[in-house]
Amino acid sequence: MRHRVPALGSERSARPAPKPAPMSLWRKVVGRPLRQEEAEGERIGTIAALPALSLDALTSVAYGPEAIVLVLATAGLGALHFMLPITIAIVVLLSILVVSYRQVIDGYPLGGGAYAVSKANLGPQVALVAAASLVVDYLLTVAVSIAAGVAAITSAFPVLIPATLPMALAMLVVITIMNLRGLGESARAFLLPTAVFIGGLLLIIAIGLIHPLAPHISQPGKSLLGSSTKAVGLLLLLKAFSSGCSALTGVEAIANGVPLFREPRQIRAKRAEAVLGILLGVMLVGLAILDSRLGLGPRSSDTVLSQIMAASVGRSWLYYAVSLSITAVLGLAANTSFGSLPVLASLLARDNYLPHAFAIRGDRLVYTEGIWTLTAAAAALLIASNANTNALIPLFAIGVFTGFTLAQAGMVLHWRAQRGPGWRRRAVINGVGSTLTALATLVFLISKFTGGAWVVLVAVPILVASFKAIHRYYDRLGKALRLGELPEVPTRHSTIVLVPITGISELTANALSDAISLGCEVLAFNVAFPEDAERAKELERNWARWAPGIRLSVLRTEYHSLVRPIIRFVRAAKADHDRVMVLIPVMAPIPLRYKALHNQLDVVLSTALAKEPDVVIARSHFSLPSPQGSSHAVPEHD
C-alpha cells in the first residue's frame, strides 16, 4: 500500500494525465484562485469606484437633506428657507474635504486615509483614535445601509415587515460573497443600479429645475412642520448643519482604498474623488433648490426626496424606476465599507495593531480576514438592532467626522512641514475644514448623546485599548525572536524520534519509515493498561519476529491514562537528548466524513505535549485507498 514517487519522466506516455479535481460548491460561489499577475484585472477604475467605494456618499442624498428639513421644521414653515444656505455651506465643506482627500491620495498612496495622515503628522496615539473611529463608522455604514435598503422594500411592500431581519442578513450574505469574489466583480455587479440611480436622479433634478411636471401633486401622510413659528437661533442652525453633514459620510473611502485602483492608482483615485464630489455637490444643491422652490417639508409617510421627485416628474415610470434604484443602492452602499475597511485593517496589521492575518490576501487577492470580520460584526449589529434603522442612525457619522477632523488637522501640519508652493493656502483650507468638521462632530455628540451616541464614545476607547494590547504582544514577540538581528548559526542537536504505536500495521511501517528518513535515533513505544498484559506480550513477540531494526518500549501503567505515562517517557528521553520529536501516525481517511471513526490520538498527544519545552510534535499521514480502488499513500509531515 506504500508507493514511491517514480522518477521524473518515467511512465509518462503510459499513464494518462490526471483529471482535474471537481470544483467544490464554495469554489463555484467565490470563483477560482487568481494568480498574482491577474490582480490588475481585479482592480477598479474611476467609474467602477462609484459603485465600489462611493455609494455610501452618493446615497446620503436620501437622508442628508431630510435630516436638515427635520431639524428646521421644528421652528415652523418660515425656517425652511434656511435649507439652501445650509446646504451650500455643506457643499463648501464637501469641496474642502474633496480637495483635502485628493492631497491625501498624493501624500499617502498606500491608503489608510485619516489613519495614515494622523500617524505621519499627529503621532501613533492620535492615529489609533482615527483608525478606531473609522472602524466604528464602517461597521455602522454596513448595518445602516442594509437596514435602510430593507426598510425601503418593506415600506413599499408592508407584508414583508416580519421578514425584515432575515432579508437584511440575506443582503449581507450577498454583498459578502460578491466582495469575496473581488472588489472588481462587486463593482461590475453593482454598476447598473448605481448608473440608474445617478442618471435618473440628475434627470429628475434637471426637469424639476427647468419645468416641474407636477408641482402641486398631493403628497401622502401628514405634515410634520411645527405648529408655531419660532425664532431661528444659531444653535438650531448648527444642529441642522451637523445633521445635514451626514450626507458627507463616505467621502474618505476613496483615499482609504487607493491600493484597490488600477495603475496609475493615484491619478485614478483623485479623478474618482473629484467625480464623487461633483456628483454629490450637484445633487445636494439641486435638491435644496427644488425643496425651497416647492416649499416642501417633512411628512409622516413620505420622504423629502420622494416628495421632490414626485413634484418634478409626477408619479411616473421614471419616479418608480429611480425609487427602486434608490432602494437597491441604499442596501448596496454597504459595499463602501467592504472596499475600505479591509485595506485599513491590513495597514493596522502591518503596523502590529491587528492580527497579522488581516494583512494576508486570500486566493481571490482580497483581504479575506477583514471581509469576514466585517460581516460577522455587521450581522451581530443587525441582529441586536433587529435591522431597525432608527436604532442605528444615532450612532452614525460620528466616527467618520472624527476621522475628517484628524485627517485635515494632520494635513495642516503636513503642509507646514513641506512648505511647498501654495502651502499656506492649502493649510488654511484644511484648517477651516478641520474646524468645521470638529464643530459638526461636537454638535453630533451633544444632540445625539442620549439617543445612543454614547456607544461610540465607549467603543472607540475599547478599540484603541485593543490595538495597543495587540501591539504590546507583538513587541514582546519581536524582542523574544530578536527580529531585525542576525541570530546565531544553526547547530545540530542530539534528537530522538519517538513513534507511538497501537500495533503492527502498514500505518506503523509508514510512520517508522518516515522516522528513519529523518536521520535521527528512533524509538517506538506503546502504552499498555493492566488488562492489556497479554496483548502487550503478543505485541513484543510479533515485534521481535518482524525485526524492523527499531527498539520498542512498552509503557505499562496502573492508570487508564495515555497522557501521564507518555509525558513521563518523553521527559525521560529529554534527559539524554537535546530534542525530542514525537512523530504521530495519523490516518487520512477519504472522504473526511470518516474521520470521526478513528481514534483522536494525535489531538490528545498534541494538546498534552504542546507546553513541553524542546519537544517537536509531527504527524505522519497515511492515506486510505479511494473507493475506486486507486491507492494514494503519500507520507506528509506537519
Gap between the Cα atoms of 217 and 339, Å rounded: 41
- Domain(s) labelled CATH 3.40.50.620 in the chain stretch across 495-623
Question: Among 371, 439, 400, 453, which residue's Cα sits nearest to residue 186?
Answer: 371
Residue 222 is predicted with a pLDDT of 64
pTM of full prediction above 0.85: no
pLDDT tens-place string over residues 445-476: 887 777 777 888 889 999 999 999 999 999 99
Residue 625 is predicted with a pLDDT of 66
pLDDT tens-place string over residues 47-97: 988 888 888 889 888 878 888 888 888 877 777 888 899 999 999 989 988
Span 128-143, mean pLDDT?
Answer: 90
pLDDT surpasses 50 at 337: yes
Exposed, middle or buried: residue 324 (CB in 10 Å: 0-12, 13-18, 19+)? middle
Residue 636 is predicted with a pLDDT of 41
In words, the CATH class of domain 495-623 is alpha beta
- Domain(s) labelled CATH 1.20.1740.10 in the chain stretch across 25-478
Using DSSP, state whether 18 is helix, strand or coil.
coil
CATH assignment of 25-478? 1.20.1740.10
Confidence of residue 546 (pLDDT cuts 50, 70, 90): very high
Residue 589 is predicted with a pLDDT of 66
Residue 463 is predicted with a pLDDT of 95
Residue 155 is predicted with a pLDDT of 66
Gap between the Cα atoms of 176 and 479, Å rounded: 38
Alpha-carbon dihedral 412, 60, 257, 469, rounded to 10 degrees: 80
Alpha-carbon dihedral 97, 99, 102, 108, rounded to 10 degrees: -70
Gap between the Cα atoms of 384 and 634, Å rounded: 49
What are the percentages of helix, strand and coil residues in the chain, rounded to 5?
Answer: 65, 5, 25
Residue 420 is predicted with a pLDDT of 82
Q: Which residue has the higher pLDDT, 81 or 599?
A: 81
Residue 631 is predicted with a pLDDT of 46
Q: What number of other Cβ atoms are within 10 A of residue 581's Cβ?
A: 20
Residue pair 378/497 in contact (Cβ under 8 Å)? The answer is: no
Write a three-state SS string for 539-603. HHHHHHHHCCCCEEEEEECCCCCCHHHHHHHHHHHHCCCCEEEEEEEEEECCCHHHHHHCCCHHH
Question: Among 504, 506, 512, which residue's Cα sits nearest to residue 622?
Answer: 506
